[in-house]
Amino acid sequence: MLDAKELVDTKNSTQAKKIFGDREVYEQELERIFGRCWLFLAHECQLEKTGDFVTTTMAEDPIIVTRHKDGSLQAFINSCTHRGNKVCTAETGNSKSFVCNYHGWVFATDGSLVDVPLKERCYHGDIDQSQLGLPKVRVESYRGFVFGCFDDNAPSLEEYLGDWGWYLDTWMVGAGEGMELVGPAMKSTLQCNWKVPAENFVGDAYHVGWTHAAALEVLGGELAGLAGNSAEMPYDDLGIQVTTRHGHGFGVIHHAASSIHAKREAYDKYLQASIPKVAENLGQARADLFDGHWNCTTFPNCSFLYGTNIFKIWHPRGPNEIEVWSYVLVHKDMDEAAKKEVVKQAVRSFGTAGTLESDDGDNMVNATTANKGAKARKNRMSSTMAQGHEGPHPVYPGIVGSSFIGETSYRGFYRFYQEVMAAQSWDDIRENNDSWDDIFDNKDYWKNKLAGDQ
């Protein structure tokens, strides 16, 4: 059995390099992380009408998500209970049923087996269809974002998101309508471990000025000053980063939603016009975050940039490969022309041909392959930036770091990673609900800092 404390050292904030490529680690992740956590499946805007379906994967398990005739959302494993063939090979569409290409078994949109060819003549009527439905997956929706979970003992999606939901509401509720996804998803492959982009999105604003220097400079937005780390910037005053229970986290650059790109008048106008309504709905603290630029990961593998508005799922395909699925986030109540502009900009920066996307790819692949060797994989990686410059905050829930650049949310991500990898079940995890943030021991950080600022 793997020693989770060896994989992640929360005190010194290091991780074993082998977590990026080891087959045994990966197999345990499939069971304990992807087998237990809530995983993003689809957005309800893809499943509006009865019979609408989307196919996706939960880690490597193929999944069909549907809008069933009783109006409920359903999800089940896309593998025939007869001889294991996929029963649906399209990625989206509308259908009353799913007919397996192999022998013609017919499954309804809730996964139940409704017809078996030659049932009387060849099975002699001796088949219990009620026991042969496609295995169901728990489905719950949060503000239109649909997640699935294999583990019946897991908390509800709302509990799983916890304080992270408080932050997500900033734009998932926002001015009232919330946000939806624009597809089709752009899909590409990356020969990297799934955690490399997941940790990058949860807490790596550090790389932005360097990795993306070329793109930032030519995009010419307000954040062009980050390019090459050359500008004098008061990093501690520009934003914060946060980690919450269950490893979710984000960093926010205040009032910078559109600052990566130049010329986004329509979007800026929409954001500024919406802020009073957000304040009315959710209070001033979240209204202040509404026009920020956020880099985020919902543990384990759903990442997004609010502001740039790209929404990504890192589907693991083995320890050294992922499929990247990228959608665009748009505010539902924005006018069509402004939405179109947001889609264009998001895709130009972080789509498969995006200028910033291409900067990241090589780094993520090389961060995986460089750790394969017999010596390198025994070494450790660090995520110690601004450790101690973080703590509970009087306004913001979770643990809040001093700056948008820091590694607070790395520490939270890997603390939970360690916890899930060690736990025998969700019961073990629940026992830590009140003590999870003990590793962030500078409890008075914000009290002292805010007092000093006055």
Partner 1 sequence: MNSEEHSALSGQPVDQATHFEIERFLVREARALDEERYHDWLDNMVAKDVIYQLPTQEVRYRRDRKTIGNAQTTYLYNDNYDVLAMRVARFDTGFLWAEDPPMRIRRYITNIDAQWADEEGEVDVWSNFIVYRSRAQRDNVSTHGRRRDRLRKTDGQWQLASRVITLEQRVIMDKNVHCFF
Tell me how far, at minimum, the Cβ of 328 lies from partner 1, in Å.
6
Contact 132, 72 (CB under 8 A): no
Tell me how far, at minimum, the Cβ of 210 lies from partner 1, in Å.
8
Of the listed 61, 204, 359, 437, which one is catalytic? 204
CA atoms within 13 A on the CB side of 332: 15
Q: Which of 85, 188, 281, 432 binds partner 1 (CB under 8 A)?
A: 188
The partner residues of 330 in beta bridges, in order of sequence, read: 180
Q: Does residue 185 belong to the site contacting partner 1 (CB under 8 A)?
A: yes
- Closest CB to partner 1 among residues 123, 210: 210
Q: Which of 190, 196, 313, 329 binds partner 1 (CB under 8 A)?
A: 190
Residues 218-247 as x/- pattern, contact with partner 1 by CB under 8 A: xx-------xx-------------------
- DSSP label of 220: B
- Closest CB to partner 1 among residues 189, 433: 189
The partner residues of 220 in beta bridges, in order of sequence, read: 261
CA–CA gap between residue 321 and residue 365 (Å, rounded) = 9
Q: Which of 29, 204, 291, 357 binds partner 1 (CB under 8 A)?
A: 357
Annotated catalytic residue 444: no
User: What is the dihedral angle through the alpha carbons of 262, 264, 268, 269, rounded to the nearest 10 degrees?
Assistant: 140
Q: Which of 149, 145, 147, 146 has the alpha carbon at shortest distance from 137?
A: 149
- Closest CB to partner 1 among residues 341, 390: 341
The values of phi and psi at residue 305, to 5°, are: -120, 105
Q: Does residue 385 belong to the site contacting partner 1 (CB under 8 A)?
A: no
Burial 102-136 (b: 16+ CB within 10 A, else e): eeebbbbbbbbbeebeeeeeeeeeeeeeeeebbee
Annotated catalytic residue 428: no
Residues 307-346 that bind partner 1 (CB under 8 A): 323, 326-328, 330, 336, 339-340, 343-344
Tokens of 84: 């294991």
Q: Which of 116, 127, 214, 422 binds partner 1 (CB under 8 A)?
A: 214
Tell me how far, at minimum, the Cβ of 337 lies from partner 1, in Å.
9
Determine the straight-line distance between the first and last CA of the chain, rounded to whole angstroms: 52
The partner residues of 113 in beta bridges, in order of sequence, read: 107
Q: Does residue 85 belong to the site contacting partner 1 (CB under 8 A)?
A: no
Q: Which of 14, 129, 358, 442 binds partner 1 (CB under 8 A)?
A: 358
- Closest CB to partner 1 among residues 311, 413: 311
3-class SS string, 121-149? HHCCCCCCHHHCCCCECEEEEECCEEEEE
Tell me how far, at minimum, the Cβ of 319 lies from partner 1, in Å.
17
Annotated catalytic residue 103: yes
Binding site for partner 1 (CB under 8 A): 89-95, 182-191, 211, 213-215, 217-219, 227-228, 323, 326-328, 330, 336, 339-340, 343-344, 347-348, 351-355, 357-359, 361-362, 364-365
The catalytic residues are 103, 204, 207, 212, 360
